[in-house]
């Protein structure tokens, strides 16, 4: 049977939300009148989520479990969903129900109008602290300004993509992945749909500040040379300061001024230049590390169990 909609939900320790996710997705998709499938990608869960996914798959053939051998990360789980999706339209949704399944029909409506990527824009966000709201806002606007691809602000991974878009994304095998940036990079006809992001249904966030920071680094280094340009800028500034300081120091010494005698000035200059060099080396190391990971050529993920087509 030809599938119209594939819904991908990465799962990591979401035992409390899986039944409600399935219920709401089924209710919405059955109302569409189109054939659909729900791909639950278990990203190395340890709280019983794996068994719950298997149980749903036994009860309903529209549920297709993809079970990882270990935890590979949210972004890689999305990639696995792309690889196993069979639908003409592929939807990525979070399992915590902050992305309401009911919005899927709004995304599908725009797809039927001819749009090939329909991304969900967060108009409101419930149940999140001011710090999370502030850092999220800063993250999206920073990425928008410094990356080579204009990634829409206030958007997450919740989106619908046409089959032709997914086929292109499946060919992109970089290890440090940023799906929302990748879907913007490929182009095609895109539009946003504003929605109200709900509070988490149950459990705790799987994206603390550390993971958000790592995601931001992946986004910046994957779609921009800006950090390298910043390092170059600091190098020129340091060199410029040194060039301007040389004649000043010579003049002060010749006039007998004691302003530049002693080791304090030398130590400050060395610390400043050393700091610039270490920052620059760190930035270079980040890019070189990405090249090293790509050169190893390891698979993006390892599957313990997967559905047969």
**Which contiguous run of DSSP H or E holds residue 226?**
helix 226-254
Strand 190-197 versus strand 89-92 pairing type: unpaired
pLDDT at site 178: 78
Kindly report, residue by residue over 215-245, the tens digit of the pLDDT: 667 666 666 667 766 767 776 776 676 667 6
Q: For residue range 134-147, what is the model confidence (pLDDT) as tens digits?
A: 666 666 666 666 66
Please give the Cα distance from 195 to 74 (Å, whole number).
22
What value does the mean pLDDT take over residues 254-267? Answer: 60
Taking the C-alpha atoms of residue 94 and residue 78, their distance in angstroms, rounded to an integer, is 10
pLDDT of residue 74: 85
- In whole angstroms, give the CA distance from residue 118 to residue 192: 6
Residue of 98, 103, 81, 121 whose CA lies nearest to 28: 103
Reported as a pLDDT band with limits 50, 70 and 90, residue 160 is very high
Position 173 scores a pLDDT of 79
pTM exceeds 0.85 for this model: no
Q: Measured between alpha carbons, how far is 138 from 150 in angstroms, rounded to an integer?
A: 15
Distances 151 to 52, 114, 122, 225, 286 between C-alpha atoms, Å: 35, 20, 14, 16, 22
Residue 48 has pLDDT above 60, yes or no: yes
Cα dihedral across residues 250, 255, 259, 264: positive or negative: positive
User: Across 52-66, 185-199, 254-268, which has the greatest mean pLDDT?
Assistant: 52-66
Residues in the chain: 309
Give the distance, in angstroms, between the CA of residue 104 and the centroid of all CA atoms in the same chain. Answer: 20
Is 5-223+298-305 a CATH 3.90.550.10 domain?
yes
Q: Which of 50-59, 164-173, 257-266 has the lowest mean pLDDT?
A: 257-266
The CA–CA distances, whole Å, from 184 to 100, 153, 165 equal: 22, 11, 10
pLDDT higher than threshold 60 for residue 200: no
**192: helix, coil or strand?**
strand
């Amino acid at each position: 049977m030809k599938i119209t909609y594939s819904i991908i939900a990465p799962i990591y320790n979401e035992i409390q939300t899986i039944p409600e996710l399935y219920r709401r997705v089924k209710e919405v998709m059955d109302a569409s009148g189109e054939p659909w499938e729900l791909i639950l990608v278990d990203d190395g869960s340890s709280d019983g989520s794996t068994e719950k996914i298997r149980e749903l798959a036994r009860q309903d053939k529209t549920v297709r479990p993809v079970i990882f051998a270990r935890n590979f990360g949210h972004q890689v789980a999305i990639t696995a969903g792309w690889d196993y999706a069979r639908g003409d339209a592929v939807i990525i949704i979070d399992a915590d129900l902050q992305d309401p399944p009911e919005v899927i029909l709004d995304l599908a409506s725009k797809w039927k109008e001819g749009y090939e990527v329909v991304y969900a824009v967060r108009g409101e966000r419930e149940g999140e602290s001011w710090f999370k709201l502030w850092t999220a806002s800063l993250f999206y606007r920073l990425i928008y300004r410094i990356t080579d691809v204009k990634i829409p602000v206030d958007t997450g991974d919740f989106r619908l993509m046409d089959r032709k878009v997914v086929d292109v994304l499946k060919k992109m095998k970089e290890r440090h992945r940023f799906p929302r940036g990748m879907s913007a990079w490929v182009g095609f006809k895109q539009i946003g749909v504003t929605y109200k992001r709900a509070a988490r249904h149950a459990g705790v966030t799987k994206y603390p500040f550390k993971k958000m920071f790592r995601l931001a680094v992946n986004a910046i280094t994957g779609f921009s040379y800006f950090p390298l340009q910043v390092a170059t800028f600091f190098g020129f500034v340091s060199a410029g300061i040194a060039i301007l300081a040389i004649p000043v120091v010579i003049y002060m010494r010749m006039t007998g001024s004691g302003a530049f005698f002693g080791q304090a000035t030398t130590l400050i200059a060395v610390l400043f230049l050393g700091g610039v060099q270490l920052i620059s080396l760190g930035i270079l190391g980040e890019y070189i590390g990405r090249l090293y990971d790509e050169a190893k050529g390891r698979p993006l993920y390892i599957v313990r169990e997967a559905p047969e087509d």
